[in-house]
């Protein structure tokens, strides 16, 4: 049955040595992709090394010792792509390597694109270009400088920066406050020997998830299992659960000053709704009604009616159990905007939700979820998130759950929301001081 959502469901085809291999078979794309994820607990000790590691590894491998060699191999595979990087999902730090390439049945000359793309990706991961048993000092120095620029440049996107800072302030003294890319102070002291030792720790002990997406055969899945069974693995680390409850909080106010003309006001809340719980779909609908589009309470009341915000929306961090309401406002409108935002939270806790808001939100979410299935990387991210949450939904079942959510369910989700931190990014002059 064609639902518009079905992009294949992951099937775990192999599990050994802390490695899980999943196949997502779909004929929706002319390309296939291979994704390797290594998961670590988010710690200050490892965060910067985890961010630096893929940046250095992508510079070359034993068979493809330079960026040019890698690029030429990708070009020979009909313009295949390769990328890697880090992200945090709750208090887990995830290192991701992937390649996307033309599926074999579309290749005019019979090239085994899967085998060649796998060989390239595996070489980058398992056989890095080492000199005298350690990473190249030249590559390390260049990538340390690039990472330093990236960390220092996070302030350039004020909208994203203010949301991140709000969540970091909410989670002071918790691992979640650590920035995805680590810190400049920790970066300076990382040596080639230290990063090489950390690479071995990653290969040997980090739990791994591998996703094969597209027109994947049993033989190809076995090929991946065979390669990975040769990796030197020992006891894998235990990953912690990120979610935390906080049912009472005295709201903290944090003000940061910068050279800005527009204030960034963020209200961070604890959702007290676990990502793997039956109540989570109701929280998704709640977030959609509150700040998920032009039909939402925040958009209509803060931006349209009161003309207080250039933008105003809400977003969930599902793994940690956080919600952030983010707005861009004239600096002098801080208190008035906050008052109206709080009115919307109160309104929803009282169950003041219209049929239109419910219907428009579900329709909007349907469009959003359907659009995820247009990208292999989004499909894989969705399923990796399911794995981390301990849930087993696909695009069809999550939408079915969303459609079953009632106003009472949304009201119950609203009553679990606890405001925690108000973060305000403002100008440094006297008019911006609160």
Give the tens place of pLDDT for each residue, 98-118.
999 999 999 988 899 999 999
* Alpha-carbon span 108 to 112, nearest angstrom: 11
| pLDDT confidence bin for 248, thresholds 50/70/90 | confident
At 397-411, the pLDDT tens digits run 999 999 999 999 999
Q: What is the pLDDT of residue 4?
A: 58
Rounded percentage of the chain residues whose pLDDT exceeds 70:
97
Q: Which of 77-81, 160-164, 302-306 has the lowest mean pLDDT?
A: 302-306
Whether 88 has a pLDDT exceeding 60, the answer reads: yes
Percent of the chain scored above 90 by pLDDT? 90
Confidence class of residue 309 from pLDDT cuts 50, 70 and 90?
confident
Q: Confidence band (pLDDT; 50, 70, 90) for 148?
A: very high
* DSSP string covering 248-306: --PPEEEEEEES-SSEEEEEEEE----TTSTTHHHHHHHHHHHHSSTTSHHIIIIIIIS
Whether the pLDDT of residue 434 is over 60: the answer is: no
Strands (E), 299-412: 309-317, 322-329
- The SS3 assignment for 410 reads helix
Q: What is the mean pLDDT of the chain?
A: 94
Domains of the chain (ranges; CATH) run: 11-228 (3.30.830.10), 252-432 (3.30.830.10)
Asked if 205 and 197 touch (Cβ cutoff 8 Å), the reply is no
- Determine the Cα–Cα distance for residues 113 and 11; give it in Å rounded to an integer: 22
CA distance 98 to 54: 11
- In this prediction, residue 323 has a pLDDT band, given cuts at 50, 70 and 90, of very high
Mean pLDDT of 116-145: 95
Claim: this prediction has a pTM higher than 0.75: yes
Angle at 29 between CA 209 and CA 78, to 5 degrees: 90
CB 188 within 8 Å of CB 182: no
Q: What is the mean pLDDT of residues 162-167?
A: 97
Tokens 């802390």 found at: 18
Q: Could you tell me the sign of the dihedral formed by the alpha carbons of 55, 61, 67, 73, in that order?
A: negative
**Is 60 exceeded by the pLDDT of residue 2?**
no
pLDDT score at 304: 86
* For residues 3-7, average pLDDT: 60
Tokens of 173: 């003294």
Q: How confident is the model at residue 38 (pLDDT cuts 50, 70, 90)?
A: very high
Please state the rounded mean pLDDT for residues 233-243. Answer: 93
DSSP letter at 61 equals: B
The predicted model gives 28-36 an average pLDDT of 96
CA distance 86 to 404: 35
DSSP state of 106: G
Over residues 138-160, the mean pLDDT reads 96
Looking up tokens 């796998």 gives 118
pLDDT reported for residue 186:
96
Q: How confident is the model over 204-211, as a mean pLDDT?
A: 97
The runs of H, that is alpha helices, within 296-418 are 297-298, 334-349, 355-372, 376-389, 395-404, 407-416
Q: Which of 166-175, 200-209, 299-308 is the least confident region?
A: 299-308
Asked if 269 contacts 322 with a C-beta cutoff of 8 angstroms, the reply is yes
Dihedral over Cα of 31, 32, 36, 42: its sign? positive
- Whether the per-residue pLDDT at 178 is higher than 50: the answer is yes
User: 377: Cβ–Cβ under 8 A, 6 or more apart, which residues?
Assistant: 33, 35, 98, 100
Q: Report the half-sphere exposure of 152 (CA within 13 A, side-chain side).
A: 9
Q: Which pLDDT band, with edges at 50, 70 and 90, does 389 fall under? A: very high
- Dihedrals φ, ψ of 213, to 5°? -120, 140
Taking 60 as the threshold, does the pLDDT of residue 44 lie above it?
A: yes
Give the pLDDT band of residue 307 (cuts 50, 70, 90).
Answer: confident
């Amino acid at each position: 049955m064609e639902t518009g959502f079905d992009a294949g469901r992951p099937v775990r085809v192999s599990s050994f040595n802390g490695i899980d291999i999943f196949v997502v078979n779909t004929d929706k794309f002319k390309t296939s992709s291979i994704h390797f994820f290594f998961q670590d607990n988010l710690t200050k000790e490892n965060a910067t090394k985890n961010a630096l590691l893929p940046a250095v590894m992508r510079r070359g491998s034993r068979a493809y010792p330079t960026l040019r060699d890698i690029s030429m191999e990708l070009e020979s595979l009909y313009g295949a792509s390769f990328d890697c990087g880090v992200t945090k999902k709750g208090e887990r730090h995830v290192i991701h390597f992937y390649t996307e390439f033309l599926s074999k049945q579309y290749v005019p000359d019979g090239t085994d694109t899967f085998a060649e793309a796998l060989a390239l990706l595996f070489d980058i991961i398992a056989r890095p270009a080492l000199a005298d048993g350690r990473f190249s000092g030249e590559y390390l120095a260049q990538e340390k400088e690039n990472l330093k620029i990236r960390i220092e440049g996070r302030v350039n996107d004020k909208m994203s920066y203010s949301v991140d800072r709000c969540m970091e302030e909410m989670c002071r003294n918790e691992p979640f406050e650590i920035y995805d890319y680590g810190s400049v102070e920790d970066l300076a002291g990382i040596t080639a020997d230290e990063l090489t030792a950390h690479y071995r720790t990653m290969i040997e002990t980090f739990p791994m998830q591998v996703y094969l997406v597209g027109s994947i055969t049993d033989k190809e899945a076995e090929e991946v299992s065979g390669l990975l069974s040769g990796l030197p693995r020992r006891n894998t680390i235990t990953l912690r659960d990120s979610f935390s409850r906080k049912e009472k909080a005295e709201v903290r106010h944090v003000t940061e000053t910068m050279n800005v003309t527009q204030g960034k006001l963020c209200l961070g809340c604890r959702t007290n709704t676990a990502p793997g719980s039956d109540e989570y779909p109701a929280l998704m609908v709640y977030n959609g009604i509150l700040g998920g589009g032009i039909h939402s309470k925040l958009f209509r009341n803060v931006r349209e009616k009161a003309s207080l915000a250039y933008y105003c929306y809400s977003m969930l961090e599902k793994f940690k159990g956080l919600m952030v309401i983010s707005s861009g406002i004239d600096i002098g409108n801080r208190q008035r905007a906050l008052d109206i935002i709080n009115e919307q939270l109160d309104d929803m806790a009282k169950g003041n939700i219209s049929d239109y808001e419910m219907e428009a939100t579900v329709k909007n979410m349907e469009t959003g979820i359907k659009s995820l299935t247009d990208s292999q990387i989004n499909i894989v991210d969705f399923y990796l998130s399911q794995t981390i949450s301990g849930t087993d939904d696909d695009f069809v079942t999550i939408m079915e759950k969303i459609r079953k959510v009632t106003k009472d369910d949304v009201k119950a989700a609203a009553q679990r929301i606890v405001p925690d931190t108000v973060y305000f990014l403002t100008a440094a002059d006297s008019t911006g001081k609160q």
